[in-house]
Structure 1
């Protein structure tokens, strides 16, 4: 059994949390380490664990350790809902770090709101949501899609093809991308969706349809294991053709490694974090992550976002001195944290983070070359009230 597993096993045996000065702070962790999103959600899990262990090594929060209650829903939406209920009703947990897909977030939201818990959600997502019981710490479309569309139209061409997995996030992200591209003189050539259990033959058929359409760029919101096969098939079926740049909001360093960097060279990602960032805080984080999970461990936005939100939570908890949802929310609105990706803070209007968008191009060594980044953090606009390019246009 690993040290991480022992931490999780021991957490379940701790006595219930009280607001006394001697009891530990109990927190929930709800990420899938099996299923279609196991790679990215495992990184969420690792980033969360690393932050908790570092905080506890420094003496915890107000002298009290964070004790995790970790459950694995294995990608099953009914299990997300059931386990969220279990944590909030029987495990004396009020704060949950969890969920990756929009489907899983929406599955647990009724439980979170009914029990007045607080969900910390670190995945980028399609926006158009607000709950007083969620702190949204991932990017929304005005912090990634706008910048990606600008980059594609300026550097790749105006004929763009959309492909995604068949669920909420890809369909909404593609709707937004279509609106942005068409409003700025581009053309969406076609739009197709793949089921979660898509076969190799179906992926090959989709790639052949894309090749026939001859787009100048491809925006992919295919997620999980199908996305890895998609990149390889696309490479193989275009081996004698001009490379087709694939743009994504979700491709990270770990998936580059699993796919094979040679299959992804030149593809484009819009994100708020890449492990190649030169800042002192990021170099410290990368070193700490690899010391904890192995010298060959890849570090990506998925683990970093989870790590950063726990650190931000700890600052809010120290200020609030309470796990009460309202007190924690009031406290976090006053906080700022210098995360590996840059300074982050919560926008009071909508509980989303101010984040600094970046554009990375995949390299054959498995890293990303950061070719552009915003001059400062961008205010989150989850309802995308403007498609204005002026402040984002890439020079």
Structure 2
């Protein structure tokens, strides 16, 4: 009796289980819009959290559109938006349209951190392109590391930093400051006066320069710092005149450069009397300061508008066509533009906007940038870049006086320089 009575019951239970299993499939197991069949709900969640949903991918653009740094950062924002438009015109990324979410850091470091958090947490962007000053980058860094977002930072900086969530498309010190100091010592004199804005980049850069001067036979004539936005340089210029340096190495940023160079000229000091080399004065700043003031002064960068590459010719044509023939390009503008294309290439290679997959795909990625071929160093997430020194001409452009001849491997901790051993605090 036992076995023959249990068979119908077992059969009914089996049929009931099959019905439940079939009911559990249906729509729940169908691929969500914007995901693949292999991704399912997990892929949908990843897409939503990385700005990749439906037929669009949201990306953040975060620069100072107001305040003292707007003179420099607005044009970087313009170049990044142009790159996004160009990529969209070619079909987007992974067949999806890039949608920029633009925010204003307002030349205020806490605001940069706040806006970065908004872009990642609320707007759910796939990546962020932004920043200029090292203070803005330092303020954003813990936000990106906490939320595991991705920042592409486009400006030369003081080095001694790496982050798994930042790609540095501007120069580190061995690609700009260190070769510039060596060139100046060989060509312009041994006595240096250091002048900078009072924040992270100038103070750290000058710390490096002082060690290099000791090692390479230079000497210090003076060192001064002023707050960002400072406009009265009469006292400092008097000190410079009294010190009689061969070189003023200038790490001022923003509007302060306008005041300093105009007051230097008013004091009767021209480029024929004193060599001034800047690392934050490019073509865009020349427009704001004036060629009558800056002609003959020097700057160290990795790109000038006059850089002779096929990619630069196309970049210039497109930039001036979009924003006006009177607009100029500059190193950070080009580095911001390059950052967008590198991220897009890494996403295509990864087949995903997932941050960890993009980071892996970006290792050793090469691209023919307007400055020349660049490559992402997988170990540091910095670029291989060519160092250049240029002289401001009367037309507002730079005449290249020297370049490194090849793209230099990034060395953010200056490990290849014995004299820098005491400066490096990271790995």
Q: Given the two structures, how large is their TM-score scaled by the length of structure 1?
A: 0.91
Whole-Å separation in 2 of the counterparts to 1:87 and 1:19: 10
Q: Where does 1:202-217 land on structure 2 (aligned, <5 Å)?
A: 203-217=233-247
Q: Where does 1:1-395 land on structure 2 (aligned, <5 Å)?
A: 22-200=54-232, 203-239=233-269, 243-387=273-417
Q: Secondary structure at the match of 1:34?
A: coil
Q: Relative contact order: is structure 1 or structure 2 higher (C-alpha 8 Å, sep ≥ 6)? A: 1
Q: Secondary structure at the match of 1:218?
A: strand
TM-superposed CA distance for 1:22, in Å, is 4.0
TM-superposed CA distance for 1:111, in Å, is 1.2
Whether contact under 8 Å (2:388, 2:402) holds in the other structure is: yes
Q: Secondary structure at the match of 1:350?
A: coil
Per the alignment, do residues 244 and 220 of structure 1 end up closer, same or farther by CA in structure 2, a change over 3 Å counting? same
Whole-Å separation in 2 of the counterparts to 1:349 and 1:188: 35
1:278-328 deviation digits (Å, cap 9, x = unpaired): 211111101110001111101111211100110111111111121111100
Whole-Å separation in 2 of the counterparts to 1:275 and 1:124: 17
Whole-Å separation in 2 of the counterparts to 1:43 and 1:236: 29
Root-mean-square deviation (Å): 1.8
Query: Which residue number in structure 2 is paired with residue 6 of structure 1?
Result: none
Whether contact under 8 Å (1:286, 1:299) holds in the other structure is: yes
Larger CA deviation: 306-315 vs 231-240: 231-240
Per the alignment, do residues 240 and 359 of structure 1 end up closer, same or farther by CA in structure 2, a change over 3 Å counting? closer
Structure with max Cα Rg: 2
Structure 1, unmatched stretches of 5+, are 1-14, 390-395
Structure 2, unmatched stretches of 5+, are 1-46, 420-427
Per the alignment, do residues 388 and 130 of structure 1 end up closer, same or farther by CA in structure 2, a change over 3 Å counting? same
TM-superposed CA distance for 1:198, in Å, is 2.1
1:133-163 deviation digits (Å, cap 9, x = unpaired): 1111110110011211111111111011001
Aligned residues: 373
Per the alignment, do residues 241 and 184 of structure 1 end up closer, same or farther by CA in structure 2, a change over 3 Å counting? closer
